[in-house]
Homo-oligomer: A and B are copies of this chain.
């Protein structure tokens, strides 16, 4: 059993963030020792998942829905498929952006924003 400070340290999240996630339903403490939350070590996996999804641009609410997903919950699974497709677009956009930045970091075009190479970033 871990206490909140330990979970915070090992997950890299602030204790306030852990309480916030709990309030939002992403997390549950296993029990209490007096007032104090106690956590099972598995919570660290869940937190890693949450952090990863946050960095990938999922909102806290979305993550909550996914974490509650039951197998066979076709509605949520469909949402996931939709989200996966959206990620494909995100990835393509980020690639164009990266290529443009790669170029821009060595470009000497007069107003940089007018550089045609740079403008490729703007494609659909």
Chain B residues, Cβ within 8 Å of A66: 104, 112
- Total copies of this chain within the assembly: 2
A100-124 contacts to B, CB under 8 A, are 101-102, 104-110, 112-113, 119, 121-122
Which positions 55-87 of chain A face chain B at CB distance < 8 Å? 55-57, 66-67, 69-72, 77-78, 80-81, 83-84, 87
Partner of A122 from B48, B95, B101 at Cβ < 8 Å: B48
A45 & B106 in contact (Cβ 8 Å cutoff): no
Question: B113–A49 contact, CB under 8 A?
Answer: yes
CB of B71 within 8 A of CB of A84, answer no
- Residue in A45, A84, A106 with the greatest tally of chain B CB atoms within 10 Å: A84
Beta-carbon contact of B56 and A113 below 8 Å: no
The residue in A55, A81, A110, A112 that gathers the most chain B C-beta atoms within 10 A of its C-beta is: A112
